[in-house]
Structure 1
Amino acid sequence: MKKFMKRLLVIVPLILLVLAIVFFFWAKASYEPTQEALEYLEESNESELTFGSQHADKGIIFYQGGKVEEEAYAYLAHQLAEEGYFVVIPRLTLNLAILDGDKASEMISKYDDVGRWYIGGHSLGGAVASSFAIEHPDKIQGLFFLAAYPIEDMSERSIPTLTIYGEDDGVAVLSDQKEKEELLSSSAEIHIIEGGNHANYGMYGEQKGDNPGSLTSDQQIKETVQTITTWIEE
């Protein structure tokens, strides 16, 4: 028994180490931005990407999809900044929002000239953004999802919420998304992009498991921006 326990004490840490290494390299195999996306970068540092004026009345914090590099959403952020918003995309550990869910607090404190903040994200980023909004209702004026749904039940909460689905999404399938609508807040709005897929909220090429969709990323992002802007300004 003692020999078995000694072996176990050696084997378990080794297994955990191997799993950690596998996870690290899995996470590092990220989706990179296209050259077109890189053309829309504005201000960039080790902590975040920013777009628009830091003195804007309204700001948007955006969490990227899992394993997608922040720069892939530069066009989306640039277009939102063109509408008058200050947009921040925090740099998240291993491009996974789940590892840095409270990063928005840092951004809100850093850019304290912004009067009202909205938070949202794509796929995993949207789910994690919902967790932040639930935990910090005093800091957030609204929450939006791109191909995502809440990480927990929000049906008894009144936080303004916008959900955008892609009709041809092959990753967050529309039928699955519809089943999760019961988790949305009591003041939720829903918008379906005809011909939209999962990857085209950003500019990083095709995503494994996704459908082609009938829109370009430029077209899908423009409809997304228009929908978010209308929702914020209502």
Structure 2
Amino acid sequence: MKYALISISAIIVAIAIPTLIVLLVNKKHKIKGWLKAIIIPVSSIVLTISFILIYFAIHYPATDRARSYLKSDEVMSLNINDHYYHFDNKTNDDTAIIFYSGAKVDPVAYSPLCSEIAHMGVDVYLIKMPLYFPLLNINGADSVASLNKHNNLYLMGHSLGGTTASLYLSKTDNPSYKGIIFLASYPNKKLNDSLRCLSIYGSNDKVLNKNEYNNNISNMPSNYKEVVIEGGNHSNFGDYGFQRGDGEATISNEEQVNITKKAVINFVNGI
């Protein structure tokens, strides 16, 4: 809803500005009707696209610390292509997690969490998002599923990324998908009860709309598990600084990532 309102507002402003300019110019210099018919719609389209691109280009960048996790070591290999960052555990290919980042957040901000999970034995594919907006790449997981490399696939997403991942999962029948992990997120469409589901959020999260979360719990598979991180907030699932409107965390970013990592690994391993 929030992003739809932003787009509608951009369209209204984009139509109003050229219309006003044409009216003002027309008072002094009469503009032919056919020229008005061209100027207003063309200008409106250009301005609308410009407003939307500028809005989404303003994002939360990954910190230098987050970027420092983009490296290989004796346990994990990092592979990067046009579709994703692959945190590849060198000894296990059976299970993998496909990660959808939050809206207006550089996916690299989640590299600490992805790297930590990979070091615990589970591959992670961090999907690249056009304009840092997951809804523009709902089917991003296809680039991983098409590899036919892993027997067990899980989707995981933060905030809007989790909702986007659930939209993808709701329309695929690929049997390799075993479940989904929500980080401060929820599905807005009913998911199959045969899927496994884990929901994690921080007790101090002020970005997650708890009313919407509670209203959409029924869309989760009936066997879902919930983990509340005491003192955690919305921003600390990634490493991109403090997100506007969030609550203050009383635990460190590293501690929240560590708790999340353990919960995810236990869930994937059926513990």
TM-score of the pair, normalised by structure 1:
0.91
Structure 1 CA distance for aligned equivalents of residues 212 and 167 of structure 2: 20
**CA distance 1:15–1:51, shift in 2 (3 Å):** same
Structure 1 CA distance for aligned equivalents of residues 36 and 202 of structure 2: 51
Partner of 1:19: 48
Partner of 2:134: 97
Structure 2 CA distance for aligned equivalents of residues 6 and 160 of structure 1: 59
Range 3-12 or range 63-72, more displaced: 3-12
- Runs of 4+ deviating beyond 6 Å: 3-6
Partner of 1:127: 163
Give the counterpart letter for 1:150 in structure 2. P
**Maintained 8 Å contact 1:57/1:114:** yes
Name the SS for the 1:100 alignment partner: helix
Name the SS for the 2:138 alignment partner: coil
User: Which residue, out of 18, 31, 35, partners 2:60?
Assistant: 31
RMSD over equivalenced CA pairs, Å = 1.9
Q: CA deviation at 1:60?
A: 0.6
Name the SS for the 1:228 alignment partner: helix
Partner of 1:68: 105
Name the SS for the 2:204 alignment partner: coil
Structure 1 CA distance for aligned equivalents of residues 40 and 68 of structure 2: 49
> Number of aligned pairs?
230
Structure 1 CA distance for aligned equivalents of residues 223 and 38 of structure 2: 52
Larger Rg: 2
Give the counterpart letter for 1:144 in structure 2. I
Asked if 1:167 is matched to 2:208, the reply is: no
Partner of 2:184: 147
Structure 2 CA distance for aligned equivalents of residues 82 and 53 of structure 1: 6
Structure 2 CA distance for aligned equivalents of residues 137 and 216 of structure 1: 39
Q: CA deviation at 1:145?
A: 0.5
**Maintained 8 Å contact 1:61/1:87:** yes
Name the SS for the 1:88 alignment partner: strand
Asked if 1:87 is matched to 2:124, the reply is: yes
Structure 1 CA distance for aligned equivalents of residues 182 and 173 of structure 2: 16
Within 5 A, what are the aligned runs for 1:195-206? 195-206=231-242
Name the SS for the 2:177 alignment partner: coil
**CA distance 1:184–1:8, shift in 2 (3 Å):** farther
